[in-house]
């Protein structure tokens, strides 16, 4: 399983430029302007716009995202068996995900990324996600 902290920001471009100066390079081109995936030798950082519904209201918030190497259904079933309630699994342009709260009430996102879509632009992924 791979972990990616997600920093919620007000301005994706300004934040992307700042983290580029620190040495993080964009791994996947995001043309929607709502997110960026930045990589470094020791991991990665996700940037997500804070002003869209469904994100944290605090632009300084950091969330944890895990990308699972196993099927999402199995992970959700294991969490449910241990007494943790997960959200329904959602299909997105990058793959599938669900959220779950940790014991302190923090929301954790668990992804099952579609590696075939990762190198594509947002518009192409969006078109692919809409196909039956």
Handedness of CA 130, 96, 90, 72 (dihedral sign): positive
Domain CATH for 17:
3.10.180.10
Provide the number of structural domains found in the chain. Answer: 1
> What does pTM read for this prediction?
0.59
Residue 51 belongs to what domain range? Answer: 2-130
Lowest-confidence region among 5-19, 63-77, 93-107, 117-131: 117-131
34-38, 62-66, 92-96, 118-122: segment of lowest average pLDDT: 118-122
């Amino acid at each position: 399983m791979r972990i990616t902290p997600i920093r919620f920001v007000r301005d994706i471009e300004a934040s992307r430029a700042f983290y580029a100066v620190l040495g993080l390079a964009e791994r996947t081109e995001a043309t929607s302007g709502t997110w960026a995936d930045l990589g470094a030798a020791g991991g990665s950082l996700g940037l997500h716009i804070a002003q869209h519904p469904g994100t944290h209201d605090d632009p300084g918030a950091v969330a944890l995202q895990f990308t699972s190497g196993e099927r999402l259904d199995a992970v959700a079933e294991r969490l449910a068996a241990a007494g943790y309630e997960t959200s329904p699994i959602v299909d997105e342009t990058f793959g599938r995900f669900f959220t779950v709260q940790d014991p302190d009430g923090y929301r954790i996102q668990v992804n099952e990324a579609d590696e075939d879509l990762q190198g594509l632009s947002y518009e192409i992924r969006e078109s692919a996600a809409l196909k039956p």
